[in-house]
């Protein structure tokens, strides 16, 4: 197939990964309002589910890098999607809070991170001149997910409960599978560059990254960013519904989803700035 087909496919695949990476964690706070009474737990106990997912999205990036080096971008995206789907489908049938920590927290967070890392790496490999535009279009999926998923989860939970919502989440996250098929296969004659390494080589490659100037500083910045990234979305719905008696969970979900608008605007602006800076750099060279 033509180069342009695989390029467009890589953007679509990455958009799907980002859609779930932004939407799923942003909707957990909404789901707590539906889970707290049936499970007989506190907000604090339930908040660990979202915390584990958000934490794994960050910490599993190292595992995602190793998977990309060992398996390639296509298989890594497929593997991540299967982990997410299995976690939600099993978790929707469980009652034990500790099992829910694993099935609704650790597995989806790890799977989303692996698929996100693989798809972002592949998009960067597929483009050179139009890379800022391609990456900007891909990461806009985060903002779309933040906008769509909270009210969607609330609407489904009103009719099917929290179990039905997570079961549907598991079915929807299986879209990672066709998304993975849009990634250039390693044996394709097109511009894949999707070479694989042994496990030892992959781990060594990850360690070499920290020798790059500024890599450690950026890592610490992202660690501190992760401490607060999902705090707002996790705590706001329960706070609003408990302090404002006239506010329903659906209303809280709509308020929470407004953060997606800001994400869309900022990504469009950032893409424009990156494209313009790239032209200036090429002109200077």
Cα separation, 127 vs 144, in Å, equals 23
Q: Where are the alpha helices (DSSP H) in the chain?
A: 3-26, 28-39, 43-59, 61-71, 73-91, 97-100, 107-126, 131-172, 176-181, 199-209, 215-229, 231-243, 249-257, 259-284
pLDDT at 12 over 70: yes
Q: For the chain, which domains are there?
A: 3-284 (1.20.1250.20)
Q: Do 92 and 39 contact (CB within 8 A), yes or no?
A: no
The span from the CA of 83 to the CA of 196, in Å, is 21
CA distance 203 to 33: 41
Residue 108, Cβ density class (10 Å: 0-12 exposed, 13-18 middle, ≥19 buried): buried
Task: Give the separation between CA 108 and CA 156, rounded to whole angstroms.
Answer: 19
pLDDT in tens, 249-278: 888 888 888 877 777 787 777 777 766 665
The closest of 92, 109, 101, 223 to 164, measured between CA atoms, is 92
pLDDT tens digits for 196-249? 677 777 777 777 776 776 667 666 666 666 666 777 777 788 888 888 878 888
**With 70 as the cut, is the pLDDT of residue 1 above it?**
no
CA–CA gap between residue 172 and residue 177 (Å, rounded): 10
Q: How far is CA 21 from CA 57, 81, 114, in A?
A: 8, 11, 10
If you ran DSSP here, which 8-state letter would residue 214 be given? T
Cβ count near 202 (within 10 Å)? 18
Q: How many CB atoms lie within 10 A of CB 179?
A: 25
Distance CA 191, CA 185 (A): 10
Structure token digits, residue 213: 């100037």
Distance CA 92, CA 40 (A): 16
Mean pLDDT over residues 167-192, rounded? Answer: 76
Confidence of residue 190 (pLDDT cuts 50, 70, 90): very low
Alpha-carbon span 220 to 52, nearest angstrom: 19
Q: Under DSSP, is residue 35 helix (H, G, I), strand (E, B) or coil?
A: helix
* Contact indicator for 90, 118 with CB cutoff of 8 Å: no
pLDDT of residue 276: 65
pLDDT for residue 227:
62
Is the separation of the CB atoms in 89 and 167 below 8 Å?
Answer: yes
In this prediction, residue 41 carries a pLDDT of: 87
pLDDT one-digit tens code per residue, 22-52: 888 888 888 988 998 899 888 888 888 988 8
């Amino acid at each position: 197939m033509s180069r342009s087909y695989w390029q467009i496919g890589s953007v679509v695949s990455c958009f799907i990964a980002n859609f779930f990476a932004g939407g799923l964690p942003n909707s957990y706070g909404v789901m707590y309002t539906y889970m707290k009474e049936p499970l007989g737990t506190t907000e604090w106990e339930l908040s660990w589910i979202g915390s584990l997912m958000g934490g794994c999205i960050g910490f599993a990036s190292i595992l995602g890098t190793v998977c990309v080096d060992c398996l390639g971008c296509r298989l890594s995206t497929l593997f991540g999607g299967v982990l997410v789907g299995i976690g939600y489908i099993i978790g929707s049938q469980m009652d034990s809070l500790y099992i829910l920590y694993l099935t609704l927290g650790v597995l989806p967070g790890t799977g989303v991170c692996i698929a996100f890392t693989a798809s972002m790496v592949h998009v960067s490999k597929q483009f050179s001149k139009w890379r800022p535009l391609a990456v900007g279009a891909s990461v806009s999926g985060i903002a779309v997910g933040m906008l769509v998923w909270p009210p969607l989860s609330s609407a489904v939970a009103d009719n099917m409960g929290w179990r039905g919502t997570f079961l549907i989440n598991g079915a929807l996250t299986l879209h990672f599978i066709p998304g993975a098929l849009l990634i250039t296969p390693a044996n394709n004659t097109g511009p894949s560059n999707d070479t694989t390494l042994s496990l030892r080589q992959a781990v060594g490659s990850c360690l070499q990254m920290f020798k790059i100037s500024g890599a450690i500083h950026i890592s610490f910045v992202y660690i501190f960013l992760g401490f607060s990234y999902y705090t707002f979305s996790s705590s706001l719905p329960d706070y609003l519904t408990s302090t404002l008696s006239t506010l329903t969970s659906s209303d809280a979900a709509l308020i929470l989803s407004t953060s997606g608008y800001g994400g869309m605007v900022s990504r469009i602006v950032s893409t424009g700035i990156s494209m313009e800076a790239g032209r200036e750099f090429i002109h200077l060279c």
